[in-house]
Structure 1
């Protein structure tokens, strides 16, 4: 499965530091709930080093209740 980051802030000079908008925060929580309710628990997560992807992942994993190993490839 490939999960893209939730709705992020408008583009800035430093793309890696863009965080999530309020909508993105809510949507990522909803996605975590959806995955939990559908009993989808990944064996491994690969996450970009960008702020928006880490913020998305943090909220998704909080809803899953079980955290798989996470790798942050550079």
Structure 2
């Protein structure tokens, strides 16, 4: 398993989680989990599933801050 650890937002407030990478890639489709300072997000065939978020941060707020559509944690079971 490959995990990515990063801040969720740039210094300018933009999401670092994007639909399409603009930088050269060393491995495509290998990341299975993303750890950020705001949430833990699993990469699944159905999409990005929020497994945990920091206390006090709602799913809707996390979605607003993210650059891609997220699924709530219960979505993994339906995959």
- Give your verdict on TM over 0.5: no
Q: Which has the higher contact order (CA 8 A, sep 6+)?
A: 1
Higher helix share: 1
